[in-house]
Amino acid sequence: MGFLPEPGKRVGRWCQGGRFFGNATCVFPRTKPSELSEEIAVKVRDTLAGLVCTKVNGRDETEKVVANEALQQNQIRVVVHLEQPRRESRIKPLLINPANLKLKLKQLIKAVDPHPDVVDRRTLKNTMPWNVTSINQISK
Task: Identify the pLDDT of residue 127.
Answer: 87
Residue 4 CA: distances (Å) to CA of 22, 26, 91, 132: 17, 7, 30, 9
Task: Identify the pLDDT of residue 28.
Answer: 55
Task: Identify the pLDDT of residue 4.
Answer: 39
Task: Identify the pLDDT of residue 81.
Answer: 92
Task: Identify the pLDDT of residue 131.
Answer: 83
Task: Identify the pLDDT of residue 43.
Answer: 95
Cα–Cα distance for residue pair 46/73, rounded to 1 Å: 18
- DSSP per-residue codes, the chain: -----STT-EEEEEEETTEEEEEEE---S---SS-HHHHHHHHHHHHHHHHHHHHHH-SSHHHHHHHHHHHT-S----EEE---PPPS-SS--SSS-HHHHHHHHHHHSTTT-SS-EEE-TTT--TTS------HHHHH-
Whether the full predicted model's pTM is greater than 0.75, yes or no, is no
Share of the chain above pLDDT 90, in %: 50
Task: Identify the pLDDT of residue 3.
Answer: 38
Structural domain boundaries of the chain? 10-125+134-138
**Residues of the chain with confidence (pLDDT) below 50:** 1-27
